[in-house]
Chain A
Amino acid sequence: MLRGLLVATSLLLIGCNGFPKDPEHTLDQVRNGTLIVGYSANPPWVVKTANGPTGTEVALVEAFARTLPAQIQWRNDTEQNLFEALEHRQVHVVVAGLTDQNPWKEKVAFTRPYQEVGKEKHVLASIQGENAFIVALERFLHQQEATLPPSVQP
């Protein structure tokens, strides 16, 4: 059993392309397709305008969608409704100026904090357990860290 485990581990570590995978194939579906983003106004992270959303987090998600590449389909709703939509896998990402202290962290997946403002750690929310998608999103956010201003004052 031990030997088998070691072999399995090393094989997976060597061939770690496409590891981890998504149970529901979110990343595969979004790539070259549509990224459904839920947003709830929370300036300056998410600002609602007549021409659609703008703000820091909106810009981040737009840049992320370009890396996949994917079209964005926006969906505006309350935070509560958006989290429920995430639970039912009806949206892929939620932006609403969330911090890692949000009590919904048990039901949905929060990314690593992409920015700290004061003591607030800002995160984006995604579908729980879709690990390939989350890793892709976190990888993108990590690469953006250098370009983000160190502290955006709301």
Chain B
Amino acid sequence: MKQLVRFEYPPELVPAFRQARRLEWLTIAYLISTAALMYLTMGQSQAMKTAWFEDLLSLTPAISFHIATRVILRSPNEDFPYGYHRAVSIAYLCSSVALFAVGGFLLLDSATTLLKAEHPTIGTVVIAGHQIWLGYLMIAALLWGTFPALYLGKEKLPLAKQLHEKNLYTDAEMNKADWMTASAAILGILGIGMGWWWADAAAAIFIAFDIVRDGFTNLRQAVFDLMNQAPKTVDDQKPDPLLDRVRETLAAQPWVKDFTFRLREEGHIYLGEGFVVPTEVSDQLAQQLEDTARQIEQLDWRIHEFLLTPVRELTKQERA
């Protein structure tokens, strides 16, 4: 069976890849510390519980990133002739399922709390002989959940685009969700302090909506990717401009009369094939096919394998 040549990031992207891995280790350590702090100060607050769940959950992209980046480096073999790149798509699917499911659960849970009009109790704790309202400690723990998350997310976004890593991008978005969650939870705690018992559950619902929305968008994209949807950009999920460059390259070939092509995402890389109608069938056809395919593969590191097949003619349907 024909195997894909072993592929890793091109040399110029290796530093970005290393940086991404470092950031993801940092993220794991940071999220565990936040989750521990929140667990210790949770009390009966609904928004704190939401923020805590969200923190545990937001470990998924970082952990699946580490597993996937290890798996994709394996060489293709008889069993896996296309290599292990889809591991990235699977990691992306896991992250988005987790995100979506917990968002939904939290939404229900907070809504029930609000409907039952449960009043959250936040008492005091004694630390080193000082008696402190637990709400202040919660706010302190939540502040630790805001600024570092903001920083991590900002650092990851450009890397995710460079590396075409949707899972990394989800993670950067997750960090954004983290700091928004924490901020909303702080407002919820302050609300309770003001005697507005509903503030807490309301904050939790607001947070949950945001998680559900993020989860749904990503879940949809992860499923589409596994169904070989045409490549989409990492950030706004618009058609990848690389498609136009492939089209232009094929159109510029003097020996090509008519053509059509398709690409699909295989984790962070693309595979695709083109069908061309040659102007005339000469002895050079094999050479021309091979050269053009190479030229397209060299357009961008993401195009890992591009196959060209000569055909007699293309129907209107095929061209579209």
Least CB distance from B257 to A in Å reads 58
Q: How far is the CA of A131 from the CA of B193 in the complex (A)?
A: 7
The answer to whether the Cβ of A58 comes within 8 Å of any Cβ in the partner chain is: no
Q: How far is the CA of A9 from the CA of B186 in the complex (A)?
A: 9
User: Once the chains bind, are B193 and A20 in contact (CB under 8 Å)?
Assistant: yes
User: Once the chains bind, are B119 and A130 in contact (CB under 8 Å)?
Assistant: yes
With contacts A12-B193, A109-B123, A128-B119 taken as known, whether A20 is within 8 angstroms of B135 at the C-beta atoms is: yes
The answer to whether the Cβ of A2 comes within 8 Å of any Cβ in the partner chain is: yes
Q: How far is the CA of A21 from the CA of B192 in the complex (A)?
A: 8
| Docked complex: A75-123 residues within 8 A CB-CB of B | 109, 111-112
The answer to whether the Cβ of B151 comes within 8 Å of any Cβ in the partner chain is: no
User: Once the chains bind, are B183 and A5 in contact (CB under 8 Å)?
Assistant: yes
Q: How far is the CA of A12 from the CA of B190 in the complex (A)?
A: 8
Least CB distance from A25 to B in Å reads 8
Least CB distance from A86 to B in Å reads 12
User: Once the chains bind, are B186 and A138 in contact (CB under 8 Å)?
Assistant: no
Least CB distance from B56 to A in Å reads 22
- Which residues of B lie under 8 Å from residue A129 when comparing CB positions? 118-121, 192, 197
- Which residues of A lie under 8 Å from residue B121 when comparing CB positions? 109, 128-131, 134
Q: How far is the CA of A112 from the CA of B118 in the complex (A)?
A: 20
A-B contact count (CB 8 A): 76
With contacts A9-B186, A21-B194 taken as known, whether A139 is within 8 angstroms of B124 at the C-beta atoms is: yes
- The stretch of B17-25, B34-42, B62-70, B125-133 in contact with A is B125-133
Pick the most buried of B123, B126, B135, B186: most chain A CB atoms within 10 A of its CB. Answer: B123
Count residues of chain B with CB under 8 A from any CB of chain A: 25
With contacts A8-B190, A129-B197 taken as known, whether A134 is within 8 angstroms of B183 at the C-beta atoms is: no
User: Once the chains bind, are A23 and B196 in contact (CB under 8 Å)?
Assistant: yes
The answer to whether the Cβ of A62 comes within 8 Å of any Cβ in the partner chain is: no
Least CB distance from B303 to A in Å reads 41
- Which residues of A lie under 8 Å from residue B123 when comparing CB positions? 109, 111-112, 131, 134-135, 138
The answer to whether the Cβ of B136 comes within 8 Å of any Cβ in the partner chain is: yes
Q: How far is the CA of A5 from the CA of B182 in the complex (A)?
A: 11
**Interface size class of chain A, counting residues whose CB lies under 8 Å from the partner chain:** 20 to 34
The answer to whether the Cβ of A66 comes within 8 Å of any Cβ in the partner chain is: no
By beta carbon, the residue of chain A nearest B190 is: A12
Least CB distance from B168 to A in Å reads 24
Least CB distance from B186 to A in Å reads 6
Q: How far is the CA of A23 from the CA of B136 in the complex (A)?
A: 18
User: Once the chains bind, are A23 and B197 in contact (CB under 8 Å)?
Assistant: yes
| Docked complex: B193-214 residues within 8 A CB-CB of A | 193-197
- Which residues of A lie under 8 Å from residue B139 when comparing CB positions? 9
- Which residues of A lie under 8 Å from residue B135 when comparing CB positions? 20, 131
Q: How far is the CA of A7 from the CA of B178 in the complex (A)?
A: 20
Q: How far is the CA of A139 from the CA of B195 in the complex (A)?
A: 19
Residue of B118, B131, B187, B194 touching A142 (CB-CB under 8 A): B131
- Which residues of B lie under 8 Å from residue A14 when comparing CB positions? none
B residues sitting closer than 8 Å to A (CB atoms) are 118-126, 131, 133, 135-136, 139, 146, 183, 186-187, 190, 192-197
Instruction: Give me 12 other A-B pairs in contact (C-beta within 8 A), A9-B186, A23-B119 excluded.
Output: A5-B186, A8-B190, A9-B139, A12-B190, A20-B133, A20-B192, A111-B123, A128-B119, A131-B121, A131-B135, A134-B121, A135-B133
User: What are 26 contact pairs spanning A and B, CB under 8 A?
Assistant: A2-B146, A5-B187, A9-B190, A19-B193, A20-B122, A20-B195, A21-B194, A22-B195, A23-B119, A23-B196, A109-B123, A112-B123, A112-B124, A112-B126, A128-B119, A129-B119, A129-B192, A131-B121, A131-B133, A131-B135, A131-B193, A134-B123, A138-B123, A138-B124, A139-B124, A139-B131
